[in-house]
């Protein structure tokens, strides 16, 4: 590790790393962790040096032979115990998420619960790793396949779901027999550190799961180290593309989930009140910092658009923005001052581009928390396809209303967009809904469901520039991603018969 800097922070104030089932103190390049509601630094996190990351990879490499040979049923028992411990510590982990991310406590609990569902799915790993067997594929020849772990694998995860997104990765990777190095977001690292300690308590052997906190130096070390066999990533499209290109050029298997610009179509026959209620939560929940957030409402017909905008304005007026610990709060702050300023800049840009700012949340101040990173919900009307606020992912509480003349025109907007993560349609018409589901060029589709996030036993992923790689996250695709299929064909000659050499390619017998 690097030499102690002159501005050394006491170790108790630093979130270090978790390597080989031990907390590793590290005061290398400490960065602040800020409570977004207060704007105050609460502690610091160490940015791992290359040597620290390499020590985590070495621990995982050393642990792999023993872990891969651990029976899947025993791995499942550890997952069962881990799930129990997570549920026992749910409030503690959710509180850490709210403190560091800013999202309201109910939302933090919801995120945590969806992550635990993947742990629950991982408990069934003995069934998922069963191979395929065929007897007598030829005279006295049997053939079978099984699913073998890759080795050391890594995950790089974003700030917006500090508990859930890591749990999309490591429970299934570990259950499949791999060892894991996690590089979570340095903005809110406490939740995955708590989970690491619970995995140890659940009986996970040393080195099987390791956490290194850090920045690009840590990421590039994982991408470049030949011991790392695969990388899972969730984040922005620019970084996802970098992770994918760098990782695959280094011979790694990579799944890199990128950005989104999720549209919701509101049809003339839709229940407008229900659609507006759904849009409120999907656009402004978690302050819009969700890769599945609805950021564009495409209203078919001016009458629908006028009604949706009017009803949204009325609901936004009653939406309470405040601290995540306040049970009356609907929406908390953005994660950092820099991100707050970036999102506000997009609102300024939308006004310059000529969109109608129907609700302006730029100057919202929360009493008693004037230094927090709060931005009120913003609603744009008359947004066009040419505007940057339509084209680019804002990742904040900004909802754009686009007006279309038909379902086909609305769908064309979605299909033309570079992102294809999630989408939905609000309608009472089954024919329109089926046409939408069959023809929309998006990976996850909702019918009167604004956030169609798949449950743990399906897989999560987008199309186009929302995903780099062939396999989705968690669910059945995770077994395919974290294992290699091996097919074995065997024959045991019987009766002492000597076989003649065969020079033709073997065919069916």
Structure tokens at 56: 């985590």
Residue 499 has pLDDT above 90, yes or no: no
In this prediction, residue 9 carries a pLDDT of 40
Residue 495 pLDDT grade (very low, low, confident, very high; cuts 50, 70, 90):
low
Identify the H or E element spanning 438: helix 430-439
Place of tokens 């509180």: 95
Q: 27 pLDDT band (50/70/90 cuts)?
A: confident
Question: 375, 296, 320: which is closest to 343 by C-alpha?
Answer: 375
Using DSSP's 3-state secondary structure scheme, residue 341 falls into: helix
- pLDDT at position 12 is 46
Q: How many CB atoms lie within 10 A of CB 151?
A: 18
DSSP bridge pairs for 256: 233, 468
DSSP 364-432: ---TT-TTS-----EEEES--TTSHHHHS---SSEEEEEEESSHHHHHHHHHHSSEESEEEEE-S-HHH
Reference 262, options 290, 240, 293, 283; nearest CA is 293
Instruction: Please identify which residue in the block is written with the tokens 């298997």.
Output: 253
Would you call 205 exposed, middle or buried from its count of C-beta atoms within 10 A (0-12, 13-18, 19+)? Answer: middle
Average pLDDT over residues 474-499: 88
pLDDT higher than threshold 90 for residue 504: no
Grade residue 503 by pLDDT with cuts at 50, 70 and 90. Answer: confident
Q: What is the pLDDT of residues 46-105, one digit of tens each?
A: 999 999 999 999 999 999 999 999 999 999 999 999 999 999 999 999 999 999 999 999
**Strand-by-strand arrangement of the 444-447 sheet:** 356-359, 378-381, 398-404, 294-300, 262-266, 422-426, 444-447
CA atoms within 13 A on the CB side of 160: 17
pLDDT tens digits, residue range 324-357? 999 999 999 999 999 999 999 999 999 999 999 9
Instruction: Say how far apart CA 189 and CA 284 lie, in whole Å.
Output: 24
- pLDDT (0 to 100) of residue 507: 66
**Average pLDDT of every residue of the chain:** 94
CA distance 198 to 200: 5
Q: Which of 370, 290, 379 is nearest to 337 (CA)?
A: 370
Give the pLDDT of residue 496: 65
Lowest-confidence region among 268-277, 294-303, 336-345, 497-506: 497-506
Helix (H, G, I), strand (E, B) or coil at 206: coil
DSSP string, 473-506: BSHHHHHHHSEEEEEEEEE---TTPPPPP--SPP
pLDDT score of 246: 98
Copy the structure tokens of residue 38: 């207060």
**What DSSP element (H or E) covers 349?**
helix 337-353
Predicted pLDDT of residue 433: 97
Rounded Cα gap, residues 122 and 60, in angstroms? 20
Section 422-450 average pLDDT = 97
Which of the residue ranges 5-14, 433-442, 473-482 would you say has the lowest mean pLDDT? 5-14
Query: Does residue 10 have a pLDDT over 60?
Result: no
Cβ burial of 227 (10 Å; 0-12, 13-18, 19+) is middle
pTM of the model: 0.93
Domains observed in the chain: 11-258+466-487 (3.40.605.10), 262-447 (3.40.309.10)
- pLDDT for res 372: 97
Asked whether the predicted pLDDT for residue 134 surpasses 50, the reply is yes
Instruction: Answer whether 451's CB lies under 8 Å from 122's CB.
Output: no
What value does the mean pLDDT take over residues 275-293?
A: 97
Mean pLDDT confidence for 153-169: 98
* Cβ atoms < 10 Å from Cβ of 202: 17
Return the active site residues: 291
* Residue 3: pLDDT over 70: no
Q: Return the C-alpha torsion angle 474, 479, 483, 486, nearest 10.
A: -160
């Amino acid at each position: 590790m690097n030499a102690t800097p002159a501005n050394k922070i006491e170790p108790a104030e630093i979130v270090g790393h978790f390597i080989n089932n031990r907390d590793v103190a590290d005061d290398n390049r400490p960065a602040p962790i800020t409570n977004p509601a207060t704007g105050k630094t609460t502690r610091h996190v160490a940015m791992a040096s290359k040597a620290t990351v390499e020590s985590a990879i070495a621990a995982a490499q050393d642990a792999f032979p023993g872990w891969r040979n651990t029976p899947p049923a025993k791995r499942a028992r550890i997952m069962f115990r881990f799930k129990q411990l997570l549920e026992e510590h749910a409030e503690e982990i959710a509180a850490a998420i709210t403190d560091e991310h800013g999202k309201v406590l109910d939302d933090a609990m919801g995120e945590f619960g969806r992550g635990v569902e993947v742990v629950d799915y991982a408990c069934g790993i003995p069934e998922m790793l069963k191979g395929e067997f065929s007897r007598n594929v030829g005279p006295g020849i049997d053939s079978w396949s099984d699913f073998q772990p890759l080795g050391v694998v890594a995950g790089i995860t974003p700030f917006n779901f500090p508990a859930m997104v890591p749990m999309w990765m490591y429970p299934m990777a570990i259950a499949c027999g791999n060892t894991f190095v996690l590089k979570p977001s340095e903005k809110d690292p406490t939740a995955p550190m708590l989970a690491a300690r619970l995995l140890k308590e659940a009986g996970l052997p040393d080195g099987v799961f390791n956490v290194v906190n850090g920045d690009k130096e840590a990421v590039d070390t994982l991408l470049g180290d030949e011991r790392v066999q695969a990388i899972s990533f969730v984040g922005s499209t620019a970084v996802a593309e970098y992770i994918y290109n760098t990782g695959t050029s280094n011979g790694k298997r990579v799944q890199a989930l990128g950005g989104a610009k999720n549209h919701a179509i509101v049809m003339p026959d839709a229940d407008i009140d229900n659609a507006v209620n759904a849009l409120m939560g999907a656009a402004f929940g978690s302050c819009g910092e969700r890769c599945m957030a609805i950021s564009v409402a495409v209203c078919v017909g001016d009458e629908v658009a006028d009604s949706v905008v009017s009803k949204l304005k009325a609901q936004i007026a009653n939406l309470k923005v405040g601290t995540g610990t306040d049970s009356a709060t609907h929406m908390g702050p953005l994660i950092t001052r820099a991100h707050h300023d970036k999102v506000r800049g997009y609102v300024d840009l939308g006004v310059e581009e000529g969109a109608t700012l129907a609700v302006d949340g730029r100057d919202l101040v929360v009493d008693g928390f004037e230094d927090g990173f709060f931005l009120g919900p913003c609603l744009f009307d008359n947004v066009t396809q040419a505007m940057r606020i339509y084209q680019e992912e804002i990742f904040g509480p900004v909802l754009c209303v686009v007006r279309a003349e038909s379902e086909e025109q609305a769908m064309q907007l979605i299909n033309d967009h570079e992102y294809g993560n999630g989408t939905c349609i609000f309608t009472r018409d089954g024919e329109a809904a089926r046409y939408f589901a069959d023809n929309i060029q998006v990976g996850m589709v909702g019918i009167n469901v604004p956030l169609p996030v798949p449950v743990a036993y399906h897989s999560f992923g987008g199309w186009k520039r929302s995903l780099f790689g062939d396999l989705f996250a968690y669910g059945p695709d995770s077994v395919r991603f974290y294992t290699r299929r091996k097919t074995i064909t065997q024959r045991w000659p019987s009766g002492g018969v000597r076989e003649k050499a065969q020079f033709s390619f073997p065919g069916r017998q």
